[in-house]
Structure formats: C-alpha cells, structure tokens
Structure 1
C-alpha cells in the first residue's frame, strides 16, 4: 500500500540534511561553471515575512534551482538589510532597542527562509548591522572620499518631519517620504553627498544594452533626465532651455523663490510683497508647487532684455519654477508652454506666437492649419491679449518659426541649431546638457546605521578615519530616538564623539551622522563572495569568476534607489581598479506583487497572510507551488486561501503515482508527450513563466494518470522538472525510488527533436477570408494543394457558404490556410 503524503513529515528532514551536507554551498574558489543567482535581500522591519514577501523569494529560488539542474554551480546567498530607518522605525513603534529587535527578527527571518525550502548557502549569510559588514560600508565611503566623490556641503535638503531625518531626492515620492508618506519639508543643513552626477552619462548610456526589465530602464532613464539645450543670458540671469527656437516668444522671465540672485533683483518697492511670497512658497511641498494649477507670483520690479528681440521684459518670482531644475530661471513663452500660458493669462502678460503648427486639423469637417483655429488670423499677430478662459492658443509642439526675424520659415529643429549657433557666436550663452539627477545625499540624522568615518579637527579640518581603525562601531545608547533638530542622537554620547585627531593627535570630534542604508545595499552582492575573508573586501579571483551577478530579481519600487545606486557604486569600483566591469547585474527582472482576496496586503486592512501558518497546514511545497501558480511571476496574482487545496491535491497525486509499479519501457505516445513537456517547461522556466510551467506539469500528470503503468524514466524526468517547485516532495520520492544521489544534483532532462514532430497538421479553411472549418490531416498530404482543396470542398461546413456561388480562385498557404474566393 502506498505511503500517504504528509509534507510535514519530510520537509524538516530534508532541510536539515541539505544544510548539514552543504548541498547548496558551492566552492567559490574551484567552481567551473559559476552562476550567481540573487534576490534582493529583505529589510527586517517587522517580526517576519508575509506571503507577499515570500512570493518574491520563492520565485527567485525556483529559478536558481532550475539553473542548478542545468549543470551550473549556483551560488544563491541570503542576508538581511537590517540597518536603516525601516528597522529603526519598527523598533520605535514597539518601544524596543533596535539592537535587541534585530537579534530576534534575524532569527525568525532565517527560520522562515529555511522552512519554505529555499536553497541558500547558509555558510555565507551577512547582516548589514554587524560590525563585520559595516566595516566595509565605511571602507567604501573612504574610497569615494579619497577619489573626491564624497564631499560635504551646506545645502537645502529634503526633511521628513515624521522620520526626523533628511532624505535623498530618490526617497521623495511625489512630495512625500517614501517610508512614511509624510509631506517632505526643506531645510538647510551640512550634509555628505556622493557625486553620482559625474556618472549620469554612463548610467544613462548603459541602459541601451543592459538586459533588465524595460520598466526599470524607463524609470531610470526618466530619473536621470538628460536634457540637451542652450544656456542663454538675459542680462544677469542665465536661463537653460531645450526650446531655443521659441526665444522670440519669451515675454517675461520667471525666477524660483529659492534663487540666490533674487534678492538683488527685487526693487525696494517690491521687497515686502516678494518676501511674503518667498515665505509662503517655502511652506509648500515640491509636489504642491508642481501640481498647483492656480499660478501665483509677484513682480520683482526689475526688467531684463530679451537678447533676440531687444525688448525689455519683466522678471517675476513664481513658485512653479523649481531651483532643482535647470538654473532656477525660465524664459517664459506663454504661447508655447501651458504653465507659462496660465501665468500670463492670470497676470495679463503678453502672449506672442512664434511657432506655427503646420499639421492640418479638422474643424467643422474642413481641413485648416492650426493657427486658423478659434479666430486666430492666418498671419499670426505679434502680441495677443486673450480671455482668461481661452486655452486654445497654447501650442507646445514643433512647427515653423514665425515672428522670429531672420529665422522665420525654419523648422523648429533647424531653428534650434541655428539660434544656438548664433548664441555661441555672439557670446550670448552656450549649448549645455542638464540632468534631472542630483548628487546622492547620504547623511542621516538617525541612530540605526553605520557611523560616517570622518573626524573633525579645528586644526586639520575633516580627517578620514584610518582604514586600520575600521569599523567605527555604533555604540549602544539608551536614548536612540531621533531628535528632530538636524543633529543625530549619537551627538549626545560624549565617549563616542570626543576623540583624538588621527593627523595631529589633538582634540577632535567624530561625525555623528550615519550613512544612508542604501549605501549598505549597494555593496552587499560583492561582500557575499568574501564573508570568510576579514582582511579585504574584494578577492580578485572570486570577483573575476563570479561577477557580475548572473540573475538578479527584485522589486520595481527600487528602480531609482537601490538599483541605480548599485550601478553607480559598481562604476566607481571599476574606476578605482577593483573590478573590470561596470554593471553589477547581467540580467535583472522585476517580480510582480500579490494581493489578497482582491485587495493590496496591508495590516490596516487586516489581510496580511502569515506563511508560517500555511506551511504548517499544507506544507512548504504546496505554498511554493500555489504562489507561483497564481499568475505570471513578473506580474503577480491574487492570493485566495480557498484555492491552495488544489495544489495540495496535485502533489498528493504525484506522491501516489511515483509509488505505483512502473513499466519497463515508455510507450511511443508517452515519449511524444514527455518530450513536448520537457521543451515547454524548460522554456517557461528560463523566462520566469512559472505559472504556465506548472500548468504543463499538471496536464502531464493527468495524461500519465490515464496510462496505467508509466515507465520509471518518465517518472524520473517528471520529478526532476517538478523539483524547483516542490524540492522536499521530489527529494523524498527520489529516495523512495532507490536513488542515492540527491535529485537536486541531477540534470534537467533534454528533449529529442524526433518526438516533437507532429504526424497530423491542422489547416484552416476560409471562404472570402473568414474561417469556416478546420481540417486535421496527415502531414504528408499537406504539401499537395489540390488534395487539400478537394478535402476542403467536401466539408459540409464549407459547402454551406459556397452553395450557389462561383469560386473565382482558391489560395493555399501550405500547411496553414486555404481560402476560397467567390467575390
């Protein structure tokens, strides 16, 4: 009698044995076919993972197991991104010290990874809050400091009033903190930055060839935001524009409230109004300023000269102009920019058309040129005064220049070049490239992070901590809560702050800010390879053999954070000569997100699902398969607890089939289906189509269940294909079948082409282009068009549509379609 399927009886057994045997721990120094497979390590900001987290790690592990079965030496490590605001905020929430919380959460996270059966190399774990790790975070900072990439300056920065710390631009999502969603404010603080902008062009260019999910590349391309344009002097104000072709339509200049020259522009009569306006603008978030449809502004009292028209045009201060873009000054062209248009309407400023749209438009059924709409004269007037509700005159596209002096009649593209040439020839400005990307702000006024390794001496200035003194250990302090003053809690610990200067041995003070946790995570994939080496960050031989990472899987929400920073740090390391490549991941794929019962998982909605309970009830293999069966791995799916039992029944049927008596030889029909399944599942696995791979395995099981006795070879091939999804179940059955060597060390089955050839083909029959029947015939007959025509004409379904009609011709596309034309 077959042994019944009780997953809890076998899963713990195999997890223990795999770890003891170091089955998934490749020799990093001797591997001949290295394959580095990695999933973004988690930040343990709560007591454990929910099934949404488990989904991503399971999918990555399934791919890793598949590559191992293909004969590769797979390295799949795991660790915890424990430093940073996520972990600290959780500790604050439950009123515990983060050092104590991290010890508990670390234990549970690793237990969860173990119980779900992921094939990690448990000899190479790392945690970012351990001194053995953050020693190298501090080391990396020093390398960037020595190269001049790390620098300190006073700057207006993003400040989260809830997290009580500064945020990098990338951590502000539509004006709010990406961690707590509080509206971000602005503060002037001395901060440390990395010059990521020096790498903007390389970061952008490499997006053309790296094999990454397209949505990630689009997000990074937009965030880097390259703009090629022209810098133009309007007297003392430099304006950057990508539309030099519209300069003759510039009727006023608008300046950001934060612009450093603004105070010099304001006349005495306007000082009061401008000061009040600047104060009001400072209380708005960047998002509010971007989205504010009701334009506001104040005239400075000053005019500047438009260098092309010679006209004196007013300078306004307007909060829709942001200091972080271009120069913080815009030449306003109301006729060809919607924001400028709205501003001009409100303050009754001139609107001058200088681009004529030559594309025809339809009005009342009649084609007419764009400038003839809504009563605008066919020869555009030089200056228009229009009603405030009239938005029909804004044209932001390309066209032909008018009212532009010697440049009239040129296309926008031609005019941009010729006007830019004129500007440079007459020293009015120059061509320039601008990027949206800003330098990476890495200072954090929090406790839970790696102390920045800098010492301040009144005599010597900022002095880097000697590498021999690393790590600068984070001390245990009782009051770790953020102060909200712009000063880190570490500043209250005199034993930490007061030190001797490494240069002159005089009294000095430590930097009390800690570094952004994204610096930790931009390094970790390097460090996994050298966790056993305490004297160096890189090992040249291992780096050459294992890097870049072959497959990296993670969340799209890190597009312009971790993923961009990792690329930047890798480029810096290459420039420093540590490595010979500049992109960290050969392939990156973004996983999807799962919802629960039709809604996004969240604690507030009470629909967060604990995987621990599901594993106890159904087993890890059932959960793994169900998570992958819900939908495409790159898109996600809807978790419905009632559906998980179907996967359990499938595994129970596999359990029974493997224990049945086997046939000595496979039948021809069995081999045909088996080889098709091998091909289909293999292709699906390579492309992360796990849901369709599982569907094929389920269909194959249905076929095998109807065959009576199935050959041992077919069962073995089936179990190997199932192994990445159900590693415990297949390992146990493999042993029960008398196999001694682990199923995880077997080879993915290969299909034979001869079994993929179809004996029969299907040919569509059309009448006047519409399918009326389908013919299933032997493949040897498919090449004879006359035979196909005769068979098709004998079909009652086809005769019905040919009755009483004359066939003009029959068109046959071999092995695909025959079409009878009667008209």
Structure 2
C-alpha cells in the first residue's frame, strides 16, 4: 500500500494578528476578556461529571503575592483541563475577610475595617483577572458580609442547640498586644502568639467553647480513609488530636484531695517516685492562694519553655501510690512546666527510670536520689549510671513489682489496670491532647456571637428572624480591644424567652469559624434561609481537590473536618457516605522563596538600589564592587527579596508568568523564584506562535476529514505516536500525579517534534497540522491566550472554523512490523531493504521502489527483469 507523501506546500501570507516575534504581553491583553470566561468547549459528553477544585481563600490584605499567584495558577490550570474534558467544574473564590489584621490596619488609619477590607478585595480581584484566573464569581463569598455571617451565626446556634457550644470559666491564653484570647492551637511551642509574636499571658475568663473533643475519635480514626492526603499532614493531625488508650490512676493526697493522672504505661506504677502537676492544675491554684513562694514560681514559670526541668515542690502535700497499699512511703508533689494542662488531667506520675523527661526532671530537682526501676533493664544497661538518660526496658517486670514480677509488659498493664479498678483507684480510659475549641474573641472585627444573656433564663439563642446580629457601624477606632462593650444600643436588649431586660454577648467568633464551612457555602451561595441546601452540598461535596499551604495543616483543616462531621451528623448534607470528610484530595503547595542578596562580610540584607543588576546572573554591590552572598529564603520586606506578580505579568505577559510558575518546581516543593529564567518560557511561547504561522504558509487548506491511520509511512507513524505519548503523559500529569512542571517540559517536547517534522519535509502536512491543533489545545489550561492566538492564526489563514475546544484523546497508531528483506539478483545476495511485511503484497509497487533505490540503481538499472519472486524475507530477481 502506498504511503501518503507530503502535500505540495502553498505559501500563504500570515494574518496581521501574528508575527514571528510574538508580543506575549499584547497577546495577553488581546484575549484577556475571552479567556477569563473560560473555554468554549465542544465536548458535552459526560456533562454529569463533576469536579470541585478549591484553593484556600485568601485574606484580603490588599495585594496578592507570588505565593498566591502559584496556588491560583495551579487550580486554574486544573480547572481549565477538566472543563476541556467535559466536566462541570466548580472553581470558586471568596474572601476570609474578618480578623485582626484588618482591625489593626483600621485602627492605624482611623477608618472602619469594612472600608479597608472592601477596598483590598477590589484590588485583589483585579490581580486575579490579570493572572487570567477563570473563577466562578457568581459563587463569591465574603465572610464579613452580613449575608455570610448571618449563616455563620446560624451554624453557631446549631452547635449551641446540640450542646456543642457552651460557656465556662477557664484559664485562657491572653495576647497582650492584640488584646484578645487565643485558642491553644494559636500559641506556639515557645508560648508566643501565632500572629503578634507576643508572649501570652494566662488569665481566668468566662469563654465560649465548641465541643470538638466529642468528635476526637472519628477525627483521628478517619484520617486513615483520606488516601488522597499527604502523610505528613495526617501525621500532624494525629499528633495534635493525640488519641491515647491507657489508664486513669487516682493518687490520694495527704490533704484528702485526689490527683487523677493518665498514663499509657500502667505497668510502670511500681517505679513512680513523684507526681507532677501543670501550672494551671486546680490543686496548684488552690495552694497558690496561700503560698507566696508558689505564686512567685508560677509567675516566673510562665516564661519558661515547655521542656524546662525546673520544678516547685508543694509544701504539706504528698501523694500515695494506690497500688502499694501496705507501704507508708509517700510521693512528693511538684509543679512542673513540662506537664501539659491540656492533656489528661494535667498531672503526670513521674517514673524517672522509664521516661526520659521524668528522668531529667528528677535529676534536676532531686540530685543524688536514685531512680527505682520496676522493669528489667537490658543487660547492657544493667547498672544505672550518670550516662543513662533513663533505663531501657526489656519487656518484663522485676521483683519491685511484687506478685506481677516476671510478667511481660502487656499482660502486666492489663492486670494492674484491673486491680486499680477493683480498688476504686483507676480505670481504663482514652485521653486526647486536643481540647475543646475556644472561639471567643474580645475584638470588634468578627462575627458577633448570637447569644443574649438573661439573669432569669441564662444564655438564650437569638431567634432566627433576628439574624444576623450585625456589627454596629464604627467609623473610627482609637484603641485595640472590644468596643462593643461600650455601645449601649448594641449591648442592651430584651430576652427572647421571657421579655425582660438582657445583655447581648459582646464577644465575636474566632475567624477560623468563618473558614470552617465556607466550602459548603460555595455550593449554594445565594440561599437566604439556609446555610446551604442539602441537595447542593450533597451533590458537590466532598471537595475533589483542595490546595493550600502546609501552615493550615492543623488548625483550619481540623476545624473544617469537625464542622463537616457535625453537619453530617445532624443531616445537613449526605456526608455519612464519606464519614463526614469534606476534602477528598489535599495538595499542600510549597512556599515561594525569593533571591536574597546580603553583604558577604556583615550578612546585612541588601536593597535593590544598592546593587548593580544590569547582568542578573552576576549582581555586584555598587559601593564595593564585590559580589553579594546569594541565597533563596522566604520572601519578606526585611530581606528585600519579594516579587510583585503584577510587575512580572506586565513585563512578560500572563501566560509566560503562569508557565514559569509551574515550570520552576514540582507543586509540593519550595519554588526558588528566579525571574531571569522566564526567558526560556518566552522563547518557547514565541515558537508556538511562529509554528502556527509557518504551518499556515505550507498547508494549502484544512482537511477536516484527515485522521491518522496505518496508511501513514513509518516515519509519520513514529512522529504521530511520539506526540500522542506525550499528550498521554500530560493528561496523567493533570489528572493524577499533578506533575505540572513536567507538563511544561512535555509541551516543549511536542513543539520540538512538530518543528522537526515540518523541517524534514517527510511528514504529511495534514498530520503536522493535526498534531499542532492538539498542542494548541493541550497548552490552553496553562497558557490560554497563546492558545487562542495560535487558534486564530489557523482559523484566519486556513478557514478552519475551529471555534471550540475538546481535550485530545491520545490515540496511538500501530507501528508496522518491519522486515529486513534480502534482495537476490541472479542468485546472489546484493543488498537488503527494510520495509513492513505488507511491502511484498504488491509486487509491481515493490519492484518499482527497489529499482529506484540507490542499491537497486546499482544492480538493476539498465536490466530487464524477467522474473521477480517475493517470499517471506527474500526478494529474488532474474535479470538479463
């Protein structure tokens, strides 16, 4: 069968809208309005397929940084990919608009936070348009809008109705700079506020809590179901929830009080040498009321790290080991910073022989007093000495454990727990590190807690028809704190239950409350009466792909999972099929680090104006002529290493910026931002445009019926299959691996292959055009304006009428089975010829091809072929 030959090229003048040196910025401007609306697609197959792609919504600070540009480029590329595949995609955007930064900024500017916030939202929306983000703006939510926080208040009241929102006196973390309470999760390991950096203070206040601990078991257990989550995030959540199965042990004190301690190692009870209490333990607070030295210690200890070895022995209080009924030995009771008040009962049974922290604490506070192991040490550690942090265990109890001696640890743990239960001194239990969520905030810019306090009725829910409880409109702030308390018309009201005078709650909600359910609201954002309809949420949740920073691995994700499980438990959405889990797949994109220049001698960060950057690859310090120290670090104003996404887009165009963001690093890795490297992307995009122009100069017309087939030559099939394999890899990168950096390199490989095919003149031009059309479609998710420009070039010059997109479905053509034929002339093997096995099916055609080949010219030219015998791998000619 004869293979297709290249078409006769017909030169055609390129259209006026393209040039060999593509102006990427003007192309971006030209197609911006069109691509912001998303692709026009021709694939309506499977329109019932849904895809919910969500990026963590931003705080409207006033400007998007490169980190925002990265995450929204990732989600937008995926959004466009799935739309080209016929999916109905939800790709929404909103604003996490309440919170301290807006309030503090308003105080500085003496304006209402709402004014500052809405102005920032307008600026950031324009930036999102500049980066070509195709977003569902009809689903937009703004958490500070009464239309949104009305429903946040409804959510709070649902929790209140089900006993999960409650008020209690508690020792809380007070931020002295931001003048508000912080949840435990918002205080770092050094006791500093997560936002202001201030050392937090401990205060006793009446606060609102949400009962997240009632869902602690499912929050821990169901992490195993989240196959699409990074393991490190699941590990962080598990550690934070801290589910531990163990024993609660009661130590009776000499003052008649009982100290409850939780332990996972009840078998070490025979080695207990002290009991340690947290700084906020009730017994400690009671003792401090009459002990000046203890009060001084507690004041000092608040500034100590959690791993401090310093302790304070309580006077006149000792505890008795409940398992040692016949001994009179009493245990000292210490106050110790290393004991967490938020875990167990805020008490630890100290076993220096079997716990490293206990050993260090005991050695520091009771120097020279030996530790007493109750578990047999390993032979290598049989003798305790100062080099041992604590005794290593071999797995059996020793003689100190009396009748339990010789038991393995697991058996001993069960037996001892049973004995403690019999004595009324303990029981098997489960403990969690996570505490109930403290949601009260003593600031203005947040959703008011919808509760009215009545002396007769207690806390009463604001009736549904009176929601939202709106923030009073304050035009200017003077100081930090909660101005709501001083606004009589806000505070003074009537009890909805009995009608008597009452006071409105003046605390506002933690802004994590707003973000704990916003992804539900996106599914039904215009619903005035409900948080969302059951049908809308059930149809679209869980979120298929959730993308955001690793810094939200604990707080936001944990709170969101809790609220989603709660809403499923009360039937608000059909979440039980997924155990109430709201996010199917989670991607934590890496941070963006900026190029940081520093003085090589002093380490001082250098400003751009201090540097000669005429050669970006070789910066020089103007004052000294030296080269600066160069590193990549987290972007910050103090390091002068930030990058403005708007300027990058203005300089290089939106498509080059988007492709550069994806190409520089895998999605999960840190991206070291180097704008100088974008030139490679610019060259590639210019080549795509120029390739479209070149093809239209050589193709006479568009053959709408063309389809790759086995009738193509071997080189054509190889070229076609190379392109199709790359398209297949690109599809997998978008839909499975999210290797979006390799998507760009695969685009470049296809571009190279098409250019080589066009240059060779050996590939059918219809096939070249077919492959170029696939490339133009495939680059659309990342570089939509370049795609539109190239498509228009083909349409104008070839009258293609290509007005909609459909993602190419990779189709390989079976490559022919090649045979190495021996060509025999008058009984002697003269040369070989490689062709497919169908070559000898047409004897006349095969004879002509062989006769015209260079070897055939040598042995057959001028000869008369009397007979041609073609069998298997041998072609034999008889000539005269």
> TM-score when scaled to structure 1?
0.83
* Alignment match, 2:585: 587
CA contact (8 A) 2:322 2:420 kept: no
Could you give the per-residue CA deviations for residues 569-623 of structure 1, whole angstroms, max 9, x where no partner exists?
Answer: 1111111111110111121111111111112111111211111111111111111
CA contact (8 A) 1:164 1:482 kept: no
Match status 1:371 vs 2:371: no
Counterpart Cα distance in 2 of 1:218 and 1:257: 28
Counterpart Cα distance in 1 of 2:803 and 2:297: 69
Note the C-alpha offset of 1:354: 1.5
Note the C-alpha offset of 1:714: 0.4
* Alignment match, 2:425: 428
Counterpart Cα distance in 1 of 2:435 and 2:507: 20
2:134 to 98, 109, 119: 119
Distance 1:733 1:481, change over 3 A: farther
Match status 1:669 vs 2:718: yes
Distance 1:334 1:743, change over 3 A: farther
Match status 1:100 vs 2:157: no
Match status 1:58 vs 2:73: yes
* Alignment match, 2:841: none
CA contact (8 A) 1:82 1:127 kept: yes
Counterpart Cα distance in 1 of 2:299 and 2:392: 32
CA contact (8 A) 1:255 1:317 kept: yes
Match status 1:395 vs 2:412: no
SS in structure 2 opposite 1:74? strand
Which has the larger displacement, 751-760 or 436-445?
A: 751-760
* Alignment match, 1:329: 347
Structure 2 unaligned spans of 5+ = 1-12, 253-257, 596-631, 709-715, 760-764, 820-834, 838-880
Match status 1:695 vs 2:745: yes
1:748 to 795, 798, 807: 807
CA contact (8 A) 1:332 1:340 kept: yes
CA contact (8 A) 2:111 2:475 kept: no
Q: Return the index of the structure with the highest Cα Rg.
A: 2
* Alignment match, 1:609: 643
> Which structure exhibits the higher relative contact order, with contacts defined as CA atoms closer than 8 Å and separated by 6 or more residues?
2
Counterpart Cα distance in 2 of 1:757 and 1:306: 85
Note the C-alpha offset of 1:21: 8.5
Counterpart Cα distance in 1 of 2:722 and 2:200: 60
> TM-score when scaled to structure 2?
0.78
Counterpart Cα distance in 1 of 2:162 and 2:147: 24
CA contact (8 A) 1:69 1:744 kept: no
1:313 to 312, 331, 334: 331
Distance 1:138 1:62, change over 3 A: same
Note the C-alpha offset of 1:519: 0.8
Counterpart Cα distance in 1 of 2:800 and 2:442: 54
Match status 1:248 vs 2:270: yes
Note the C-alpha offset of 1:741: 11
1:492-503 matches, within 5 Å, as 492-503=486-497
CA contact (8 A) 2:37 2:134 kept: no
Could you give the per-residue CA deviations for residues 174-204 of structure 1, whole angstroms, max 9, x where no partner exists?
Answer: 2222212222221111111100000000101
* Alignment match, 1:186: 202
* Alignment match, 1:221: 238
* Alignment match, 1:166: 181
Note the C-alpha offset of 1:95: 4.9
Structure 1 unaligned spans of 5+ = 359-368, 377-385, 761-777, 781-823
Note the C-alpha offset of 1:540: 2.7
Distance 1:264 1:78, change over 3 A: closer
SS in structure 2 opposite 1:42? coil
Could you give the per-residue CA deviations for residues 556-579 of structure 1, whole angstroms, max 9, x where no partner exists?
Answer: 111111111111111111111111
Counterpart Cα distance in 1 of 2:718 and 2:92: 42
SS in structure 2 opposite 1:253? strand
CA contact (8 A) 1:267 1:301 kept: no
Distance 1:406 1:496, change over 3 A: same
SS in structure 2 opposite 1:290? coil
2:672 to 616, 628, 638: 638
Note the C-alpha offset of 1:427: 2.2
Counterpart Cα distance in 2 of 1:492 and 1:527: 33
Note the C-alpha offset of 1:205: 0.9
* Alignment match, 1:73: 88
Could you give the per-residue CA deviations for residues 256-293 of structure 1, whole angstroms, max 9, x where no partner exists?
Answer: 2322123667998xx34333323332x32xxx33132x
* Alignment match, 1:363: none
CA contact (8 A) 2:524 2:537 kept: no
1:414-813 matches, within 5 Å, as 414-480=411-477, 483-484=480-481, 488-581=482-575, 582-597=580-595, 598-661=632-695, 667-686=716-735, 687-708=737-758, 711-738=768-795, 746-754=805-813
SS in structure 1 opposite 2:136? coil
CA contact (8 A) 2:550 2:589 kept: yes
Distance 1:182 1:717, change over 3 A: same
SS in structure 2 opposite 1:621? helix
CA contact (8 A) 2:49 2:87 kept: yes
Note the C-alpha offset of 1:659: 2.2
Distance 1:128 1:742, change over 3 A: farther
Note the C-alpha offset of 1:494: 1.7
1:282-361 matches, within 5 Å, as 283-284=302-303, 288-292=304-308, 294-309=309-324, 310=327, 311-346=329-364, 347-348=366-367, 349-358=369-378
Note the C-alpha offset of 1:732: 2.5
Counterpart Cα distance in 2 of 1:612 and 1:717: 31
* Alignment match, 1:10: 27
Counterpart Cα distance in 2 of 1:652 and 1:492: 63
Could you give the per-residue CA deviations for residues 649-700 of structure 1, whole angstroms, max 9, x where no partner exists?
Answer: 1111111112222556762222121111012111122221111111111122
Distance 1:393 1:442, change over 3 A: closer
Counterpart Cα distance in 2 of 1:169 and 1:81: 21
* Alignment match, 1:133: 148
Note the C-alpha offset of 1:215: 1.6
CA contact (8 A) 2:243 2:431 kept: yes
Counterpart Cα distance in 2 of 1:7 and 1:159: 52
Note the C-alpha offset of 1:726: 0.3
Counterpart Cα distance in 2 of 1:135 and 1:742: 50
Counterpart Cα distance in 2 of 1:420 and 1:256: 24
Counterpart Cα distance in 1 of 2:539 and 2:286: 60
Q: CA RMSD in A?
A: 2.8
CA contact (8 A) 1:232 1:423 kept: yes
2:296 to 268, 276, 284: 276
Distance 1:533 1:331, change over 3 A: closer
Note the C-alpha offset of 1:779: 15
Counterpart Cα distance in 2 of 1:715 and 1:690: 21
Note the C-alpha offset of 1:93: 4.7
SS in structure 2 opposite 1:222? helix
SS in structure 2 opposite 1:36? strand
Counterpart Cα distance in 2 of 1:323 and 1:718: 60
Counterpart Cα distance in 2 of 1:126 and 1:745: 31
CA contact (8 A) 1:497 1:512 kept: yes
Note the C-alpha offset of 1:391: 3.8
1:238 to 257, 260, 267: 260
CA contact (8 A) 2:93 2:135 kept: yes
Note the C-alpha offset of 1:299: 3.8
Note the C-alpha offset of 1:244: 0.8
Counterpart Cα distance in 2 of 1:742 and 1:463: 66
* Alignment match, 1:764: none
Note the C-alpha offset of 1:171: 1.5
CA contact (8 A) 2:40 2:805 kept: no
Note the C-alpha offset of 1:549: 1.3
SS in structure 2 opposite 1:566? helix
* Alignment match, 1:765: none
